[in-house]
Amino acid sequence: MDDSLDFTTPAAAAPPPRAAVAAPAPAAPASPSAGAPANSALGKLSERLDALDLNALPRVSPVATKLAALNPSELDSVKSFCAIIEQEPICVARLIGLANSVAFGIPGKKFNALDQAVNRIGLERAAQTAFGMLCGQALNKGLSSQWREFLWLHAMAVAHGASMLATKVAPQERANAYLAGMIYDIGTLVIECLQAGTLDLLLQTAIARDMKLGQVEAVMLGKARRAVSNALLKKWSLPEDIIGAVAERDFDSIEPDSLSAILAVADELARSEIVMGAVYADVDPPFPLDSIMLDGVSDRTGSLLSLDVDVYESIGERLSNQVMALRATAESFSRSH
């Protein structure tokens, strides 16, 4: 565990967080008035993270591995993609459902076949989306409905933002940026699956100490998240450049304009007020946004890319205008069966 922040002094007395259990129950939204979790709970979390069994990591469909190894822009035809994805009937049904959603559907027209759905969504985006759906199938049963929906919605915002950023600074990485953005928080998802209640505890800590969830995650999950990401994505046989980019969170080790840099900036864009405000403009957020939302991309993180601040603001605006597509795609990922 990274101990660069001091969690040894209680901010306030509080009811104990819900204990980790073998199968997670839906988490109740944390209250802004909640006190800091007991030190013993944070200490036990640290011990559990150190003792994580990496051999217990979930498996993913071989189809997902095959899709990750493909360059979506080089898929030669809708027919060849359909031949790959037809091995996963649940994924086929969800792609067809996505094509008929408010984000992609056409009034008065219904898409019933996979090839029709792929043509409507777009071949490259359909391949990337299918990969995310298969990742969701491997992980979702271990997540509460609130965290599942929240994390996949965030993942889609990161993926879209990363793709836009890559177009500006590293066009050759655009497809990888989207795919890596979808799984940027996969280490956090897996830790929650293996240690149910971890995210509830971290959110309670952020609220009680007037911090941001992302900051508490970095401190408490840093080393474990990196280890889990590396182990899982290697187990899933993903390309080494994607594994390295997703796992690398150390600011001083990130190369400027690299895929890791693109993901770091996209993550803050996805947490920004302009994006999260749009996402939850007409629905109740599952958690207090003040403990999650950022004003925007920080100067430090923004310096990782050779882009001006107004570019980040412009991409944030574009993301805020894609809420329907983000929600529809995230919903297709977050279903537990």
Residues whose CB falls within 8 Å of the CB of residue 33, separated by 6 or more in sequence, listed in order: none
pLDDT at 27: 42
Query: Looking at this protein, which amino acid is placed at residue 291?
Result: S
Q: What is the DSSP string of 29-80?
A: PPPTT--PPPHHHHHHHHHHHHT--GGGPPP--HHHHHHHHS-GGG---HHH
Number of neighbours of residue 107 by Cβ within 10 angstroms: 4
Would you say residue 4 lies in a domain? no
Q: Identify any residues that bridge with 109 across adjacent strands, giving them in sequence order.
A: 106
Closest by alpha carbon to 68, among 25, 6, 130? 130
Distance (Å, rounded) from C-alpha 59 to C-alpha 235?
Answer: 8
Distance (Å, rounded) from C-alpha 296 to C-alpha 111?
Answer: 39
User: The domain containing residue 330 runs over which residues?
Assistant: 142-334
The DSSP 8-state label assigned to residue 13 in this structure reads -
Would you say residue 99 lies in a domain? no
Would you say residue 206 lies in a domain? yes
Would you say residue 97 lies in a domain? no
pLDDT at 28: 43
Number of neighbours of residue 238 by Cβ within 10 angstroms: 21
What backbone torsions phi and psi does residue 294 show, to the nearest 5 degrees? -105, 160
pTM of the model: 0.84
CATH number for the domain that contains residue 187: 1.10.3210.10
Would you say residue 29 lies in a domain? no
Kindly tell me the burial class for residue 44, based on how many C-beta atoms sit within 10 Å of its own C-beta (0-12, 13-18, 19 or more).
middle
What backbone torsions phi and psi does residue 257 show, to the nearest 5 degrees? 60, 15
Number of neighbours of residue 211 by Cβ within 10 angstroms: 16
pLDDT at 166: 97
Q: Identify any residues that bridge with 307 across adjacent strands, giving them in sequence order.
A: none
Query: Looking at this protein, which amino acid is placed at residue 150?
Result: F
CB distance 311 to 297 below 8 Å: no
The DSSP 8-state label assigned to residue 184 in this structure reads T
Tokens of 101: 């959603």
pLDDT at 57: 81
Would you say residue 26 lies in a domain? no
| pLDDT tens-digit map of 64-80 | 988 887 776 667 789 98
Would you say residue 95 lies in a domain? no
Tokens of 240: 């080494």
Q: Please tell me whether residue 84 adopts helix, strand or coil conformation.
A: helix
pLDDT at 18: 38
Number of neighbours of residue 1 by Cβ within 10 angstroms: 17
Would you say residue 13 lies in a domain? no
Number of domains in the chain: 1
Query: Which regions of the chain are under pLDDT 50?
Result: 1-35, 38
For residue 264, give Cα distances in angstroms to 181, 290, 297.
9, 20, 10
Quick one: CA torsion of 193, 199, 202, 204, rounded to 10 degrees?
A: -140
Q: Please tell me whether residue 322 adopts helix, strand or coil conformation.
A: coil
